Structures are given as C-alpha cells and as structure tokens.
Structure 1
Amino acid sequence: MDVDIGNALGTTPGVTTGVLDRLDDRVADAHETITDGMANDAFGYAALNLPETADPDAIRSAVDRYDDPEAVLTVGIGGSALGAATLANALDSEVDAYFLDNVDPDQARRLLAELPLSETVVNVVSNSGTTAETLANFLVVREAMDRADVDWTDRTFVTTGGEGNLRRLAEKHDLPALDVPAGVPGRFSVLSTVGLAVAALQGHDVEAILRGGADGRENLSGSLYDSPAYAYGAVSYALARRGATTNAMMPYAESLETFAEWFAQLWAESLGKDGVGQTPVRALGATDQHSQLQLYRAGPREKLVTLLRPRERADVSIPETDLEGLSYLGGSSLGELLDAEFEATEASLAAAERPNVRIEIDRVDERSLGELLYGMEAACVLYGELDGVETFTQPAVEWGKKAARGLLGGGEFEEAEAVSDKRELVVSGGR
C-alpha cells in the first residue's frame, strides 16, 4: 500500500512540510504508545497483533464440515458483519455471501425467501452474545429454516465471546463456536475469526489476507515519512484540525465499495468523541464524479477526499466506433478510462486547492486487502492518539442500545425514559 499526501500540501485547508515535520515528533511518541499497547496486548491495541495471533486452522476446522454450500448468511451488525462483507464483496467466489445486518422486516423477508436454506450456512456473530438486532434476526432465520424443514443446528455456527446467550446456545445444541479475540473491538476485528470465517467458507486464502496484514504491521515506524498508514492517519488528523472535518472515501473499484462502508464505521465510531472527529462519507469512483464531486470541488472547504485504486485489474476493451465524437474511445479500455477518471478527479481537486490523498494497492486480492485493512486500522489508532480520544470505546452507541432495549422491555434503563421527552413539531401531509 502506498499513500501519496502531496495534494494535501498548499491546499485550503492544508498542511505544509513544516507542519508535517513538527507533527512527526508527535507521531514518534504515539508510535511508542501504540507499540507498548501491542506488546501488552492491551484492549484495542490487541487488534494490531491479529496478523500474528489469528488462527486460520481454528477457522477452517469450524467451517470445513460444511461441504460445498451454495451460500453463507452472516447474521451480525456493524463490526460483526462489515469486515466479512468487505472481503466477500471484494473477492470472487462460487459461494454467495449474504449479510443480515439490519432489522428491516422487508429486507429480512425478501432475503429469506430467496435463499436456498438447505444449502446455506448461517454464521451468527456477536461478541457479547446479547446484541438485540443480531439475536432477533437469528430467531427469524431459525424459524424460516424450521418452516423449510431444514435442521438449523446442522447449518449454523456462532462467533462469540466466552459468555452470553450465543455461547450458551452453542453449548446446548453442540454448535461449532469460534472465539471472538479478547480485547478487540468489533470494528477492528476483520483480521480475526469475525472477518475471516466467511472468507474461509468462500474458499479464499486466509493466510494471504493475514500476510498482507503482517506486511502492514512491518511498515509501522516512528515516522510518518516511513509508514503509509501513519502518513494517512497523521495527515487526516492535521487536516481535520485545520477544518477538513469530512473525509470522503472514494475507491475506484466497484469491488471496494463495501470497503468504504467498513471505513466509515471504523472512522466514525473510533474518532467521533468529545466534540472532535472527522465525518466519513462514502463515495464511488467514477460514479460519484457525476453526483458528489461538484460539492467536493466547489462546496464548503471542509473536506478531505481520499482516492483509492488498485494498480492492476482485469480489463475490458472498448470496441472501435465510427460514431461522431466517440472515436477517441475505440481501441482503449474501460480500465484506462477509469484510470483517466481517477487522475482527472485528483487533478480537478488539486486545481481547486482542495486537499486529497491518493492510496494505491497492488490489486484487489487477499494479500493487498489484508494490508489495506490493517493500514486503515493503524491509521485510525494513530489519529486517535494524536487527537487524545478514547479510540476503542463507543459510549454514544451504548446509550442507544440501552434505550432500545428498555423500550422493548429488556430491562430498566434511564436512557429509554428519554424517548418520551421528544419534542414534536409535526407538519402533516393530511393523512
């Protein structure tokens, strides 16, 4: 993974080489804190050890019992699903991957009606084993399998912590159970059992994903000038401090669109604390050049645009044509056009003095994805250290969970009482 921060220099907002040189001393201190946390396997920092501590053999032993499934359905939410979805949607496989990561009844009904349940493996993921959305969806899935005369216990495994409802369920029904790694928040768990079980079921090279993560770890150093991950984290932090409070992640590959969703959770949930943070926005090149780029180039100057692409990809030739004005396309390829769109967007933003950063990976394969995912995690941890926030907690999320559980009768929570205090000023459509 390479990170080019040149287009963050001399922009508005922007940084200078002098700013980066001064910031580099703080990066060195933050790196020492991070490496100490990793050495002690401290909460959160343990995620950066996963390329070495994850156990591919344990993952395979849990999933190899399912011979030639047509599909795998992950029931989870947030970090329990997005990492696996990122890998599944980036890599080709004959085993289709689906994700039930919301409690929208229409979506659940449509998905379960389409799935070949007798040939589907269900992966239920919750660290606590008590996540309301996940357990509710699983109960719905289990009922659908019962109605289809499918023994759900033969088609289900769980990924969970050492205690909780899911662990007890696995013990009661003798289900395969993968352990969520201790000290790893869900949004940092893609390089563990949480993100890799689906990849293994789909036949992907789990070891190569972890090798990519290990490559990313080897590239961490005490200077932003020697570490692509730290360069990205440090520049993102510096730009946010100067007013670039939005970060538009814009991959130029359809296969990386879900990566932008994964990044959005990582960045938002980790860094949005104490009135600071950088709001992630999901975009897709070249599609969103025709929808969002107008805002990024000519709107408020509070954005960093991150442009991501693979250097190598399969390509499709564009046929020759005699249509007037289109002959320049003939003999080229869709890949060349996409690269031209990438570079034109980059130049357009630079010409308007809007900060942007280029991230390039070798190709969309297991090793490069492992390196990219690890790199963004390390960048996020560094950003959090520089900004002085509790990167690995999510108190605002927990508040909402308690409120919802209280409304459903799952306990007495003062957060639920706040719902009744909602102000109303309703403009009715006359229904």
Structure 2
Amino acid sequence: MNVDIGNALGTTPGVTEATLERLDDRVADAHERIADGMVNDEFGYASLNLPETTDPDAIRAAVAPFEDPEAVLTVGIGGSALGAATLADALDSDVDAYFLDNVDPDHVDALLASLPLDDVVVNVVSRSGTTAETLANFLVVREAMADAGVDWTERTFVTTGESGNLRRLAEAHALPALDVPEGVPGRFSVLSTVGLAVAALQGHDVEAVLAGGRDGMDALSGSLFESPAYAYGATTYALAERGARTNAFMPYAESLETFAEWFAQLWAESLGKDGLGQTPARALGATDQHSQLQLYRAGPPDKLVTLLRPTERSTSTIPETDLDGLAYLGGSSLGDLLDAEFDATEASLAAAGVPNVRIEIDRVDERALGELLFGMEAACVLYGELASVSTFTQPAVEWGKNAARGLLGGGAFPEADAVDDKRELRIEGR
C-alpha cells in the first residue's frame, strides 16, 4: 500500500510540510502508545495483532464440514458482516456470498425466496449472542429452512463469544463454532474469524490475507513520513482540525465499492466522539465523477477526497470506431480510460484547491486487501490517538440499541422513554 499526500498540501483547507513535520513528534508518541497497547493486548489495540494471532487452521476446521456449497449466507450486522462482505465482493469465487445485515422484511423475504436453501451454508455472527437484528434474522432463516425441508443444524455454524445464546445453541446442536477474538471491536474484526470464515468457504487464500496484514504491521514506524498508514491517519486528522470535516472515499474499482462501506463504519463509529471526527462519504469512481464531484470541487471547502485504486488491472480493449469524436478511444482499453478518469479527477480537485489523498495497492487480491484493511485500521487508531478520542467505544450506538430493545419489550431502558418525547410538526400529504 502506498499513500501520496502531496495534493493535501497548500489546499483549502490544507496542511504544509512544516505542519506535518511538527505533527510528527506527536505521531511518534502515538506510535509508542499503540505499540504498548499491542504488546499488552489491550482492548482495541489487540485488533492490530490479528494478522499474527488469527489461526487460519481453526477457521478451515470450522468450515470443513460444508463441502462445495452453492452459497454462504452470513447473518450479522455492522462489523459482524461488513468485513466479510468486503472480501467477498472484492474477490471472485464460484461460491456466492449473501449478507443479511438489515431487518427490512421485504429484503429478507425476497432473499430467502431466491436462495437454494438446501445448498446454502448459514454463518451466524454475534459476539454477545444477543444482537436483536442478528438473532431475529436467524430465527426467520431457520424457519425458512425448516419450511423448505432443510435440517438447519447441518447447514449452520456460528461465530460468537465464549458465552451467550449462540454459544449455547452451538453446544446444544453440536454446531461448528468459531470464537470471536477478545478485545476486538466488531468494526476492527475483519482479519479474524469474523471476517475470514466466509473467505475460507469461498476458497480464498486466508493465509495471504493475513500475510498482507503482517506487511502492514511491518510498515508501521514512529514517523508519518515512513509509514503509509500513519501518513494517512495523521494527514486526515490535520485536515479535519483545519475544517475538512467530510472524507469522501472514492475507490476506482467496482470490486472495492463495499470496501468504502467498511471504511465508512470504521471511520464514523471510531472517531465520531465529543463533537470531533470526520464524516465519511461513500463514492465510486468513475461513476460519481458525474454527480458528487460537482459538490466536492465547487461546494463548501470542508472536504477531503480519498482516491483509491489498484495499479494493475485487466485491460478489456475498446474496439476501433469511425464515429465522429470517438475515434480517439479505439485501441485503448477500459482500464486506460478508468486510469485517465482517476488522474483527471485528482487534477481537477487539485486545481480547485480541494485536498485529496491517493492510496494505491498493487492489485485486488488477498494479500493486497489484507494490507489495505490493516492500514486503514492503523490509520484510524492513530487519528484517534492524535484527537484524544476513545477510538474503540461506541456509546451513541449503544444508546440506540437500548432504546430499540426497550420498545420491543426486551427490558426497562430509559432510552426508550425518549421516543415518546419526540417533537412533531407534521405536514400531511393528500
């Protein structure tokens, strides 16, 4: 993974090299704190040890009973699904991957009706085993399988904590079970059992993903000028402090669109504390050049644009044509066109004084993805250290969970009372 922060210098808002050199002393202190947290396997910091502590053999053993399934269906939400979805959507496989990460009944019913339930492996993911959305969806899936004459116990494995409903379920029905690692928030769990079980079922090289993560670990150092991950974390922090409160994350590869969703959860949930943080906005190059770029280039000067691309991709030659004005396209490739769109967008933003950062990986494969995922996690942790926020907690998320449980009769939660206090100013349609 390489990071180019040149187009963040001298922009509006922007930073200078002198600013970053001054900040580098704080980066060194933050790196020491992060390294200590990793050595002591502290909550949250343990996430950055996953490339070394995750056991691929345990993952393969858990999925071994399910030979050559047609599809795998993960039932989880947030970090329990997004990491696995990122890898599944980025890498090709003959085993289709589906994710129930919402409780929209129309979507759930339509998806279950479309799946060959007798040849689907179900992966239920919840550390606590009490996540309302996950458990509700699993109950619906289990009933659908029973209605289809499928023994769900032969098609299901769980990924969960040491205790709780799912652990008891696994023990009662002798289901294969993977342990959610201790001290790792869900949004940081992609390089663990949580994110890699689906990859193993799809036949991907789990060891290569972890090796990429170790490449990212090896690249960490006490200076932002020597570490791509820290360069990104420090620069985004410095820009946010100067007014770039939105980070538009734009991969130039269709296969990395879900990665932008994963990044959005990581960045928002980790850094949005105490009135601080940077709002992630998801975009896709080149598609969103024709819409969102208008705002980024000519709207309020409060944005950073992060451009991500692989430097190696397939070609797909564009046929020759004699159509007026299009002859210049013939003989080049779609890859050439996409790279030209990337370079043009980057230059367009720079010409308008909009800060942008380039992230490049060699190609979209297991090792590069492992390094990229680890790099963004390390960047996020560094940003949190520099901003002095509690990176690994999510109190605002827990508030909403408590309110929902109270409304559904899952206990007495004062947060649920706030629903009755909603202020209304209704304008009725006909």
Q: TM-score, normalised by structure 2?
A: 1.00
Gap regions ≥5 residues in structure 2: none
**What letter matches 1:130 in structure 2?**
T
**What letter matches 1:241 in structure 2?**
E
Q: Which residue of 1 aligns with 2:405?
A: 405
User: What SS class does the counterpart of residue 73 from structure 1 fall into?
Assistant: strand
Q: Which residue of 2 aligns with 1:206?
A: 206
Residue 423 of structure 1, CA deviation: 0.4
Rounded to whole Å, the distance in 2 between the matches of 1:106 and 1:281 is: 26
1:52 and 2:52 aligned? yes
User: Map of 1:251-400 to 2, 5 A cutoff?
Assistant: 251-400=251-400
**What letter matches 1:269 in structure 2?**
E
**What letter matches 1:154 in structure 2?**
E
Rounded to whole Å, the distance in 2 between the matches of 1:314 and 1:354 is: 30
User: What SS class does the counterpart of residue 328 from structure 1 fall into?
Assistant: helix
Q: Which residue of 2 aligns with 1:159?
A: 159
C-alpha distance after superposition, 1:316-348 (max 9, x if no partner): 000000001000000000000000000000000
User: What SS class does the counterpart of residue 305 from structure 2 fall into?
Assistant: strand
C-alpha distance after superposition, 1:37-96 (max 9, x if no partner): 000000000000000000000000000110110000000000000000000000000000
Gap regions ≥5 residues in structure 1: none
**What letter matches 1:42 in structure 2?**
E
Rounded to whole Å, the distance in 1 between the matches of 2:340 and 2:126 is: 43
Residue 404 of structure 1, CA deviation: 0.2
Q: Which residue of 1 aligns with 2:20?
A: 20
Q: Which residue of 1 aligns with 2:183?
A: 183
Which has the higher mean CA deviation after the structures are superposed, 202-211 or 165-174?
165-174
Residue 315 of structure 1, CA deviation: 1.6
Rounded to whole Å, the distance in 2 between the matches of 1:266 and 1:167 is: 27
User: What SS class does the counterpart of residue 339 from structure 1 fall into?
Assistant: helix
1:219 and 2:219 aligned? yes
Residue 358 of structure 1, CA deviation: 0.1
Aligned pair count? 430
Rounded to whole Å, the distance in 1 between the matches of 2:346 and 2:258 is: 22
C-alpha distance after superposition, 1:303-325 (max 9, x if no partner): 00000000001120000000010
C-alpha distance after superposition, 1:13-41 (max 9, x if no partner): 00001100000000000000000000000
User: Map of 1:78-117 to 2, 5 A cutoff?
Assistant: 78-117=78-117
Q: Which residue of 2 aligns with 1:37?
A: 37
Q: Which runs of 4+ in 1 moved over 4 A?
A: none
Q: Which residue of 1 aligns with 2:170?
A: 170
- Aligned Cα root-mean-square deviation (Å): 0.3
**What letter matches 1:314 in structure 2?**
S
**What letter matches 1:322 in structure 2?**
D
Rounded to whole Å, the distance in 1 between the matches of 2:175 and 2:87 is: 25
Rounded to whole Å, the distance in 2 between the matches of 1:342 and 1:165 is: 48
Task: Report percent identity of matched pairs.
Answer: 82
Residue 190 of structure 1, CA deviation: 0.1
User: What SS class does the counterpart of residue 328 from structure 2 fall into?
Assistant: coil
User: What SS class does the counterpart of residue 364 from structure 1 fall into?
Assistant: coil
Rounded to whole Å, the distance in 2 between the matches of 1:369 and 1:226 is: 20
Rounded to whole Å, the distance in 2 between the matches of 1:109 and 1:298 is: 43
Rounded to whole Å, the distance in 1 between the matches of 2:64 and 2:167 is: 20
Residue 145 of structure 1, CA deviation: 0.1
Residue 296 of structure 1, CA deviation: 0.3
Residue 163 of structure 1, CA deviation: 1.0
Q: TM-score, normalised by structure 1?
A: 1.00
Rounded to whole Å, the distance in 2 between the matches of 1:167 and 1:413 is: 25
Rounded to whole Å, the distance in 1 between the matches of 2:20 and 2:55 is: 38
